[in-house]
Chains A and B, each alone.
Chain A
Amino acid sequence: MMRTAISILKKDLRMEFRSKESILAMWIFSLLIFVIFNFTFEVSRLVMLEIAPGLLWVAFVFSGMFGLNQSFALEKENGNLRAMALMPVDGGQIYVGKFFSVTIIMLMFEALIFPIFVIFYDLQLSLGMFRLIPVLLAGTIGFTSLGTILSAVAVHTRNQQILLSLLLWPLVSPIIIWSVTLTGMVLSGEVTEAFYPLLVRVGAFDVIFFTLSYMLFDFILED
């Protein structure tokens, strides 16, 4: 049943592993954000620790746009988008395939940039840091679930890249706000009892966004 989704996922991942285009661009871009940030806000180490979670998510969101933009722009190049629309399968399957490929690529990029982040901002590693994994997972899924469908919307316009940001950022702001809060709790080591309910809440909205996008995706493909 999910064969189409799996083949799209495989194709996207194979393309990414061969060219490493998205991950490399995202990684370098995040590095640039850290560097520019350091020059524009010369703050003490204490303040830095306080704003670090925000900075991390700024880097994720800005760099994540590369992956999202790329995801459907590549399909458009050789008229593949039209071919996809003509496929006698449920549009939701295409969404699922694209969603997983974008999410996996983004999670890999996050795993690669996080060590750099730790070094740059001199974070103290501890076992509690493992709590960051569900936080990054939940936040990223929220970002990519909405991002994938809106990328498919924006790809039809002349100004794809700017429009995707305009559409996605306000809509995804709740997820980002919560993810920054959660990341802050983990990085500062002050995980309060509010942590898990908030994490569950992000997860719940991930499910809502994913389901809604899955149901609506058919309408985007048809002409």
Chain B
Amino acid sequence: MRSKIDKILLITLLIAFSVSIYLIFLWVPQIKASNPAEQIAQRIFYFHVPSAWLGFLAFFVVFCGSVAYLATRNRKYELISVASAEIGVLFISLVLITGPIWAKPVWGIWWTWDVRLTSSLILWLIYVAFLMLRRYLPDGSKRANLSAVVGIIGFTDVPIVYYSIRWWETQHPKAVMASSEGSLAAPMFFAFMFSLATFTLLYVYLIRKRYQLLTLEDTLNKQFKEMEIL
């Protein structure tokens, strides 16, 4: 199962991660902040935001996989959605962990019921429930159908959840890329984009690996069943 592409991906990832860590911790200039802790904590941004992006990307893939499964009944798409949901939950967990680590020195609190924090937590809960549902169902086409339905409803709900909490005042830093005043300095922007690209590559690698593993499990299960029949 060890394809050439995986090997190339892995080596590229190792190099890219070393470079991003160098960029993030040594190359990017210190931000100007009155609080010295904030200067250091700010660097978590290069991990926090790409993780969040990866989470959304992963859940979008769950949605696409679910639609594709219901349309074609090809088990491949079911496995892709599952692999993607697992990775999404992992990275949203990282978002929920890195966020408070930053918030404690800067805001003085670990957690606040703010738009982004709350919607990320709800998002996490939706996909944890998705994975739990699969745990509670026996393998088969029923499970595939049910989880595809939940995968579709879950993703449709994501913008609604975000929208519903928006009227609360937000403490969360604005999207720095979009606003004109708080735009990133050139080196920061470069480091951020590099980190984003590295994380996206990591997603590609992880989903390939997880998908291969799931197919292997499938083949193994099939062989066990055949042996039982004999």
Contacts and interface: CB of A to CB of B under 8 A. Distances in A.
Contact of B126 (A170, A205, A208): A170
Q: Determine chain B's interface SS by DSSP, over half rule.
A: helix
B204 interface: no
A146 B129 CA distance: 15
Interface in B107-125: 122-123, 125
A216 interface: yes
22 contacts: A146-B153, A153-B149, A156-B142, A157-B136, A157-B137, A163-B132, A163-B136, A167-B133, A169-B125, A170-B122, A171-B126, A171-B154, A171-B157, A173-B164, A174-B163, A174-B165, A177-B164, A178-B164, A205-B160, A208-B156, A212-B156, A219-B149
B133 A213 contact: no
A216 B152 contact: yes
A41 to B, nearest CB: 18
Contacts of A208: 156, 160
A159 B126 contact: no
B15 to A, nearest CB: 39
Given A156-B142, A158-B136, A163-B136, A170 B153 contact: no
B94 interface: no
Interface string A172-211: 0111011000000000000000000000000001001000
A213 B133 CA distance: 18
Interface residues of A, number: 29
B98 to A, nearest CB: 21
A212 B125 contact: no
B82 interface: no
A42 interface: no
Task: Point out which of B130, B141, B149, B152 has the most chain A C-beta atoms below 10 A from its C-beta.
Answer: B149
Contact of A170 (B129, B148, B149): B129
Given A146-B153, A167-B129, A208-B156, A177 B165 contact: yes
